[in-house]
Amino acid sequence: MPKVVEIIVDTKILDRIIRQVPQKANDLLDLAARRIETRAKGTVPVDTGALKNSINVSSPATFTRHIGDGVEYGIYIEKGARGRSARPFLGNAVEAERSAFTKAWGQLLE
């Protein structure tokens, strides 16, 4: 006669994690995006203040954050143009946040 093995899995903990992760992930994205925005505003070159004041965060969808500026010349400050050196403010802000974000994301998934 074949032996029957019964395995019972208690998924209460897994179910709780599944319910909590989406909100925690969105909170983490909000925090990282705001930190990037703050750092970019603190390092952007200022002439009139229009570029600095236009840097913002938007959330067009769940798990999505857009961080950018609202002036047409922002890209030329960031990347440089016509013999003018790049003065990156947004890319540097993202890179400065990368390590902390990666660590926090890993902790979220533990």
Q: Is residue 1 part of a domain?
A: no
Least confident window among 5-14, 50-59, 85-94: 5-14
21 pLDDT band, cuts 50/70/90, is: confident
Tell me which H or E stretch contains 72: none
Q: Is residue 4 part of a domain?
A: no
pLDDT digits (tens, 9 = 90+) for 85-106: 999 999 999 999 999 999 998 8
Q: Is residue 98 part of a domain?
A: yes
Report d(CA 23, CA 81) in Å as an integer. 41
DSSP alpha helix (H) spans, the chain: 12-43, 50-54, 74-79, 90-108
Q: Is residue 45 part of a domain?
A: yes
47 pLDDT band, cuts 50/70/90, is: very high
Q: How far apart are the first and last CA of the chain?
A: 43
Q: Is residue 91 part of a domain?
A: yes
Number of domains comprising the chain: 1
Of the candidates 98, 78, 80, the residue with the CA atom closest to the CA atom of residue 90: 78
Domain holding 20, by residue range, is 12-108
Q: Is residue 76 part of a domain?
A: yes
Calculate what percentage of the chain has a pLDDT beyond 90.
Answer: 65
76 three-class SS:
helix
Which pLDDT score, from 0 to 100, does residue 106 have?
85
Which pLDDT score, from 0 to 100, does residue 79 have?
94
Q: Which two structure tokens, joined as six digits, stand for 43? A: 């390092």
Cross-strand bridge partners of residue 81? 84
